[in-house]
Chains A and B, each alone.
Chain A
Amino acid sequence: MPEPTTSPPSPPGMPSLSELFISFIIVSVSGFGGALPWARRMIVEQKHWMTTEEFNEAFALAQFLPGPNVVNFSVVFGSRFGGAAGAAVALSGLMGPPLVIVTVLAMLYAQFGELEILGRILSGITAAAAGLLIAVVGKMALPLFTKRWTWAPAIAILAFAGVAIMRWPLPWVFAVLAPVAVAIAWFKPAAKTATP
C-alpha cells in the first residue's frame, strides 16, 4: 500500500505517471500520418497541460534537437512533468504500441507479401491526416500572427517557402534561418520588454 507521502502531491493540472503513459499511448495509436496533431490535441485542448505558447516552445525545442521530433518531444514533455521517470514513461507510451503493430505488419507482409487493401485504406486516411496537420499549423500559428512581432511571421513564411516551394534541403534551411531568427530575437526582444 503506498503511503500518502510516497506520491508527491502533483499540483492541479499536473499529469501523474500513469496518466502520462496512457495519454502517449493514445497519441501514438491515433497518430496515422504523424503524431504531432494528436499530441497537441491531448496536451493543449483536452488536458490543458500546456498553453498554446508553451506547446509551441516545447515542440520547437524538440525540433531543434536532432532526431525524430515527436520522440524528442515526448522526452521534453515527460521530463518537465515527471523528471527522468516521466520522460521514460512518455517515451515508452509513444513508442511501445507502434513497435508491436509494425512488427506484426512486417510479419504479415513477409507471409503474404501484399498489403494492397491496407494501402488503399491508408491513402484515404493520409488525405485526412494532411488536413489535420494543416489545421494544427493554423492553431499553432495563431499566437504568432496576432502578436506584434513583425519579424516572426516573416521567418515562419521563409522557412515554409524554402522547404515546401523551393524544395531546399530542410537541414540547410534550418541552419541558415535559425541563427538569423535567434539573432533578431536577441536584438529585438519581445513586445513586453520593448514597450515601456
Chain B
Amino acid sequence: MNDNPLIALFGYFALLSLFAVGGANAAIPEMHRIAVEVMHWMNDRQFADSFAIAQLSPGPNVIIVTLIGYHVAGLAGAAVATVAMCGPTCLLSFFAARTWDKFKDAPWRIAIQAGLVPVSLGLIAASAFVLARAADKNIYAGVVTAVTVAVASFTRVNPLWLFAAGGVLGLSGWL
C-alpha cells in the first residue's frame, strides 16, 4: 500500500514545479486540479482559503504549496511540499546560471538572452495588468494603484508607505 501522503505530496509538487513555466500563479489551476479533484486533499472552499492566506503573507506566491502540504500532513507536509516545489527547479536554476555565465560571450547564448528578455517583460506586464484588474474593484482602489505608479516611478519614497496607506484605506472599508 503506497498511500503515504508525504510521498504523494513530494511526487506531485516536484513534477508540477518542472512543468510550471511562467511561475507559481500559472500553476494555480493545476494545483487546484490535483489537490481538490484528483487527490481530494481539500475541498474548493479550503483551497480558496489557502490561496487567500498565501496572498496575505508577504513573499513569493508559491507559498500556497506550503499551506496545501500543511493541510494534508501538518508541519512535515508543509516542509515536504515546499521542498518538492522549490528544490528541483532551484537545482536546475543553479546549473543553468552556471552554464549561462560560462558561455557569456557565445553567440547562441546572446541570441537566447536577447530573445527572452522582451518575452519576459511582456509576461510581467501581463501579470501586472491581471493583478490591477483583480485589485481595482472600485474607483478608490484605482486611485491607490495610480498614485502608487506615480510615486514609485518618479520618487524614491519607500513603497511600504503606500502599502501602509492602502492597508489603512482597505481596513476602513473604502476599497
Contact = CB atoms under 8 A, between A and B. Distances in A.
| Interface range on chain B (Cβ under 8 Å from partner) | 35 or more
23 contacts: A56-B121, A60-B116, A60-B117, A67-B86, A67-B89, A67-B90, A71-B62, A76-B97, A99-B82, A103-B66, A103-B75, A109-B53, A121-B171, A128-B162, A128-B165, A133-B132, A141-B125, A152-B118, A159-B118, A164-B125, A164-B129, A170-B21, A184-B115
A101 B55 CA distance: 11
Contacts of A103: 66, 70, 75, 78
Interface stretch (B2-10, B12-20, B36-44): B12-20
B98 interface: yes
Contacts of A153: 118
Interface string B67-102: 100110001001000100110111011101110110
Nearest to B70: A106
A155 B63 contact: no
A185 B170 contact: no
Chain B interface, DSSP helix/strand/loop, else mixed: helix
Contacts, number: 372
Interface string A73-117: 001100110001001000100110111011101100100000101
Interface string A136-169: 1111110010000100110111111111100001
Chain A interface, DSSP helix/strand/loop, else mixed: helix
Given A123-B170, A127-B135, A153-B118, A72 B56 contact: no
Contact of A80 (B19, B70, B97, B136): B97
Interface of B: 17-24, 26, 49, 52-63, 66-67, 70-71, 75, 78, 82, 85-86, 88-90, 92-94, 96-98, 100-101, 107-108, 110-132, 134-137, 141-142, 144-149, 152-153, 156, 159-160, 162-163, 165-171, 173-175
A65 B96 contact: yes
Given A103-B75, A131-B146, A139-B153, A182 B115 contact: yes
A28 interface: yes
Contact of A57 (B17, B24, B113, B144): B113
A1 to B, nearest CB: 31
A128 to B, nearest CB: 4
Given A72-B93, A182-B115, A130 B57 contact: no
